């Protein structure tokens, strides 16, 4: 049965011209699109105001009597002006209408009514230009009552464009509502009754045509719950469908148990717990679909490696997908070192990236397809149609937000039997985001850091403060003098080329790196949750400005650096000439460097052969150099909350204390400065993840866009509606437990089809 919401606007009661304008301006195609284009706020015509109390530029509503009406020609142009003098008994106000002579016939002396508009002034006389009004011919007491009702009635204000005003939208919606039949409600009656919610038709009516504030408030509450309910039903149903497919159980054997027995350190409690959750999942005949979130340096990759060993014990292979070549190469080195020579020789961890030579690629592909490589680590090159596996049992997606849906699905499809999937992210995810963006995944959390870590001290350094800015380089020199190492991060490579702070896989290494760990410490990986909004902003700003770093540093003075973004090229040169760092070994690293050169620099820094590494955000993820103790982030206001948290996590990873100095030129009370101060105020990634969500717009939770852009959510707000989302998820789960295909819940089934367009349904099916 076709719902009235599916009717095309061009076939509805609206005129063809109106439907065309709505489609072109706001992409509103159906009746459902129009009716779910909800008001962004509600205004009033203003409290009833006495003429003697009028304030300039204020919106007012006045009950008054027409005293005089005059129409006269304009002096300097064609046309006429109608001037209407009104009074409430305490003062006089002029109403003006341009080229609307018919107003003189409608407004006649002696008439009373309500007049609403914005107070202006012309030649010292207060006036309302083109006000709204409503005339009354009833008894005075009726007029007064109607006036109060008119003044207090909420006016819906819609998201509009330059070609479609809020008033035009209101008119179109009212026209549609006048002929709209009763709507089927996707939220079952029992669920609504338990929560005191309005039915769908009533909620739609009152959200657009409220008579009092309580009307639209109850309507929005009902519609917000419905939105959460339909979304959670879609996610939970997809999870059920996924669990109905078959997978090969992967049980740990001699390889996994031998590795655990030989580990020279003890797993943290969280690592043990999560490892057990993964083992239980992988022992089932249905595929695991699990998200592993954890703090920077919490040892997520070690947990993933133990899962890979369980797959190898059953003769299967694991694929680790990393976003950049730097990170993939460091994963390889870390895994080989962690396995040890004997186990590494048996499992043959193999690297496959796009910049490898043809013979190297051919050799790696042969190892994958023959099954001789039990662990294959690579970038987007793994997704090539020419890459095949002998028995792909586990897919590990590192920094999941850097890969599109199609890329992840392409790797999963390389398994003859659906492989188990483990998705990693290093920035803790707020519960509300987990229930929306990742609602079809089971979630594990590692919040506990390995013992012996010393908390990092973080400071915000105003760039305009010459003394404090000069102290930044003194601190770097002090760390180097003690034999430690430092990072200096810049938002741009050189004056002409910024480095995107969050480049996707297969492009410039916008944020990359790997892990350099040994058997004596946990493997780590960092990733960030949906920082693309801030990253794109940073890249856009950096591209728009010519970069110039303080050449005065070469002279050793303390001049405040330029307001342009710092660049790797000029910062490196400036530090090499800085008197305090004259003997320091300084190198640079960025995404435009050849893979071999990037790898060589990373190896040298990890080996202690470089004292100060000046880099873009290629060092944001996975770099594990225990001797690195200082992190300087120049133009910190150009980075997002989670990105700053990841960068800070590059230091303080050993037994030496870490310090992070965030240099910023952001204005006081600006959002950019608030981001930096939020990071400096806490080391708690869960707290920062929530703060990050509050500072950003929600991303489209049902598309490949996972951050900051236009959201498909209408009324639901991930940052504030956590309790509601949880309640809706529980209610949807109870229904799906007894009716997984929604055969007895037709309105909900149809709502899912309406809510999810083809691309969104594909996203849910493949995520």
What's residue 714's pLDDT? 84
What's residue 438's pLDDT? 64
Question: d(Cα 679, Cα 430) in Å, to the nearest integer?
Answer: 16
- CA quadruple 724, 726, 732, 735: dihedral sign: negative
Q: Encode pLDDT of 57-78 as tens digits.
A: 877 767 788 999 999 998 878 8
**pLDDT higher at 513 or 278:** 278
Instruction: Categorize the per-residue pLDDT at 144 as very low, low, confident or very high, splitting at 50, 70 and 90.
Output: low
Evaluate whether 672 touches 691 at the Cβ level (below 8 Å). Answer: no
Angle made by CA atoms 546, 548, 553, in degrees to the nearest 5? 180
Residues 6+ apart with CB under 8 A from 687: none
Q: Encode pLDDT of 626-681 as tens digits.
A: 899 999 999 999 998 878 988 998 898 877 889 999 999 988 878 889 889 999 99
Looking at residue 107, the DSSP 8-state letter turns out to be S
- Region 397-412: what's the mean pLDDT? 73
Question: d(Cα 694, Cα 191) in Å, to the nearest integer?
Answer: 30
Strand 125-129 with 112-122, pairing: antiparallel
- Region 583-597: what's the mean pLDDT? 89
Q: Encode pLDDT of 605-634 as tens digits.
A: 989 999 999 999 888 766 778 899 999 999
Percentage above 90 pLDDT, the chain: 47
- Region 20-32: what's the mean pLDDT? 93
What's residue 540's pLDDT? 34
Question: d(Cα 755, Cα 733) in Å, to the nearest integer?
Answer: 18
The two tokens of residue 701 are: 């939770």
Query: Is the pLDDT assigned to residue 542 strictly greater than 50?
Result: no
Instruction: Categorize the per-residue pLDDT at 150 as very low, low, confident or very high, splitting at 50, 70 and 90.
Output: low
Angle made by CA atoms 397, 402, 408, in degrees to the nearest 5? 45
Return the CA Rg of the chain. 32
Point out the least confidently predicted range of 382-396, 446-460, 492-506: 492-506
Phi-psi region of 265 (alpha: psi -120 to 50; beta: other; left: phi over 0): beta
What's residue 640's pLDDT? 85
Question: d(Cα 618, Cα 509) in Å, to the nearest integer?
Answer: 6
Residue whose structure tokens are 């148990």: 257
What's residue 345's pLDDT? 95
What's residue 548's pLDDT? 24
What's residue 402's pLDDT? 66
- Cβ-based neighbour number of residue 11 at 10 Å: 11
The two tokens of residue 626 are: 């225990």
The two tokens of residue 509 are: 């290494």
What's residue 660's pLDDT? 96
What's residue 560's pLDDT? 36
Looking at residue 492, the DSSP 8-state letter turns out to be B
- Region 231-244: what's the mean pLDDT? 84
- Cβ-based neighbour number of residue 492 at 10 Å: 31
The two tokens of residue 443 are: 């979630």
User: In Å, how far from its chain's centre is CA 131?
Assistant: 42
Q: Report helix, strand and coil shares of the chain as percent, to nearest 5.
A: 40, 15, 40
Question: d(Cα 599, Cα 439) in Å, to the nearest integer?
Answer: 37
**pLDDT higher at 133 or 729:** 729
Please provide the average confidence, as pLDDT, over all residues in the chain: 81
Question: d(Cα 78, Cα 72) in Å, to the nearest integer?
Answer: 11
Evaluate whether 500 touches 537 at the Cβ level (below 8 Å). Answer: no
Query: Is the pLDDT assigned to residue 538 strictly greater than 60?
Result: no
pTM above 0.75, yes or no: no
- Region 387-401: what's the mean pLDDT? 89
Evaluate whether 69 touches 105 at the Cβ level (below 8 Å). Answer: no
Evaluate whether 614 touches 553 at the Cβ level (below 8 Å). Answer: no
What's residue 55's pLDDT? 80
What's residue 500's pLDDT? 47
**pLDDT higher at 566 or 160:** 566
Q: What is 353-387 written as a DSSP string?
A: -TTS-HHHHHHHHHHHHHS--SEEEESGGGGSTT-
Burial of 657 (0-12, 13-18, 19+ CB in 10 A): middle
Phi, psi of 670, rounded to the nearest 5 degrees:
-85, 160
Three-state DSSP string of 394-434: EEEECCHHHCCHHHHHHHHCCCCCCCEEEEEECCCCCHHHH
Q: Which of 6, 11, 3 is nearest to 30 (CA)?
A: 6
Q: Is 65 helix (H, G, I), strand (E, B) or coil?
A: strand
- Cβ-based neighbour number of residue 459 at 10 Å: 14
Q: Encode pLDDT of 698-708 as tens digits.
A: 544 444 333 33
Evaluate whether 345 touches 312 at the Cβ level (below 8 Å). Answer: no
- Cβ-based neighbour number of residue 416 at 10 Å: 12
Find the helix packing angle between 300-313 and 254-262, rounded to 10°. 140
Three-state DSSP string of 155-213: EEECCCCCCCCHHHHHHHHHHHHHCCCCCCCCCCHHHHHHHCCCCHHHHHHHHHCCCCH
Q: Which of 45, 25, 442 is nearest to 236 (CA)?
A: 442
Question: d(Cα 590, Cα 726) in Å, to the nearest integer?
Answer: 43
Percentage above 70 pLDDT, the chain: 81
Q: Encode pLDDT of 176-216 as tens digits.
A: 999 999 999 999 999 999 999 999 999 999 999 999 999 99
Question: d(Cα 316, Cα 394) in Å, to the nearest integer?
Answer: 8
Instruction: Categorize the per-residue pLDDT at 451 as very low, low, confident or very high, splitting at 50, 70 and 90.
Output: confident
Evaluate whether 14 touches 29 at the Cβ level (below 8 Å). Answer: no
Question: d(Cα 592, Cα 324) in Å, to the nearest integer?
Answer: 12
Query: Is the pLDDT assigned to residue 85 strictly greater than 90?
Result: yes
């Amino acid at each position: 049965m076709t719902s009235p919401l599916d009717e095309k606007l061009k076939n509805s009661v609206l005129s063809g011209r109106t439907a065309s304008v709505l489609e072109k301006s706001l992409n509103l195609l159906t009746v459902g699109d129009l009716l779910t284009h909800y008001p962004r706020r509600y205004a009033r015509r203003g409290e009833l105001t006495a003429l003697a109390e009028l304030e300039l530029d204020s919106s007012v509503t006045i009950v008054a009597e027409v005293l005089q009406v005059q129409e006269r020609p304009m002096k300097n142009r064609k046309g006429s002006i109608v001037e209407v003098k009104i009074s409430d008994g305490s003062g006089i106000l002029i109403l003006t209408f341009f080229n609307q002579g018919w107003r003189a016939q409608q407004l006649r002396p002696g008439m009373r009514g309500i007049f609403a508009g914005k107070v202006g002034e012309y030649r010292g006389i207060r006036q309302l230009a083109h006000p709204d009004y409503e005339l009354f011919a009833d008894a005075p007491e009726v007029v007064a009552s109607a006036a109060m009702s008119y003044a207090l009635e909420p006016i819906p204000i819609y998201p509009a464009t330059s070609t479609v005003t809020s008033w035009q939208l209101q008119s179109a919606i009212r026209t549609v509502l006048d002929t709209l039949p009763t709507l089927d409600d996707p939220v079952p009656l029992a669920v609504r009754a338990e929560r005191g919610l309005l039915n769908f038709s009533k909620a739609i009516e009152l959200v657009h045509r409220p008579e009092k504030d309580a009307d639209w408030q109850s309507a929005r509450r009902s519609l917000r719950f419905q939105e959460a309910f339909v979304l959670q039903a879609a996610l939970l149903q997809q999870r059920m469908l996924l669990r109905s497919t078959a997978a090969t159980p992967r049980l740990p054997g001699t390889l996994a148990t031998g590795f655990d027995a030989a580990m020279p350190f003890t797993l943290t409690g969280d690592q043990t717990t999560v490892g057990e959750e993964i083992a239980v999942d992988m022992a089932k005949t249905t595929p695991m679909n699990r998200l592993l979130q954890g703090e920077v340096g919490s040892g997520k990759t070690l947990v993933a490696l133990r899962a890979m060993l369980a797959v190898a014990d059953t003769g299967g292979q694991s694929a680790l997908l990393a976003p950049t070549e730097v990170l993939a190469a460091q994963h390889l080195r870390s895994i080989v070192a962690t396995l040890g020579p004997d186990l590494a020789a048996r499992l043959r961890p193999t690297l496959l990236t796009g910049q490898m030579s043809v013979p190297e690629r051919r050799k790696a592909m042969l190892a994958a397809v023959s099954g001789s490589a039990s662990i294959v680590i690579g970038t987007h090159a793994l997704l090539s149609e020419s890459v095949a596996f002998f028995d792909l049992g586990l897919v590990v997606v590192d920094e999941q937000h850097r890969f599109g849906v199609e890329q992840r699905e392409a790797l999963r499809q390389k398994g003859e039997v659906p492989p188990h999937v483990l998705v990693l992210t290093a920035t803790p995810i707020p519960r509300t985001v987990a229930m929306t963006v990742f609602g079809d995944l089971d979630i594990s959390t590692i919040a506990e850091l390995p013992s012996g870590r010393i908390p990092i001290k973080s400071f915000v350094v105003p760039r305009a403060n010459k003394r404090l800015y000069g102290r930044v380089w003194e601190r770097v020199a002090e760390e180097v003098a003690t034999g430690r190492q430092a990072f200096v991060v810049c938002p741009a490579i050189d004056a002409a080329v910024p480095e995107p702070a969050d480049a996707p896989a297969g492009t410039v290494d916008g944020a990359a790196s790997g892990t350099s760990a040994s058997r004596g410490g946990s493997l780590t990986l960092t990733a960030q949750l949906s920082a693309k909004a801030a990253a794109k902003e940073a890249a856009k700003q950096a591209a728009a400005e010519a970069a110039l770093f303080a050449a005065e540093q070469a002279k050793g003075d303390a001049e405040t650096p330029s307001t342009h973004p710092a660049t790797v090229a000029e910062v490196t040169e400036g530090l090499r000439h800085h008197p305090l760092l004259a003997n320091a070994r300084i190198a640079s690293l960025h995404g435009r460097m050849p893979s071999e050169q990037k790898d060589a620099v990373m190896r040298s820094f990890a080996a202690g052969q470089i004292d100060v590494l000046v880099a873009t955000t290629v060092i944001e993820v996975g770099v594990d150099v225990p001797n690195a103790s200082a992190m300087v982030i120049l133009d910190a206001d150009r980075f997002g909350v989670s990105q700053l948290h990841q960068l800070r996590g590059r230091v303080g990873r050993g037994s030496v204390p870490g310090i992070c100095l965030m240099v910023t030129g952001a204005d006081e009370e600006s959002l950019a400065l608030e981001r930096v101060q939020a990071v400096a105020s806490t080391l708690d990634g869960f707290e920062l993840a929530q703060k990050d969500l509050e500072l950003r717009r929600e991303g489209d939770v049902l598309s490949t866009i996972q951050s900051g852009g236009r959201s498909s959510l209408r009324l639901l707000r991930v940052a504030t509606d956590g309790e509601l989302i949880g309640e809706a998820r529980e209610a949807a789960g109870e229904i799906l437990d007894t009716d997984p295909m929604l055969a007895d819940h037709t309105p909900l089934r149809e709502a899912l089809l309406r809510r999810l367009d083809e691309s969104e349904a594909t996203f849910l099916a493949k995520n």
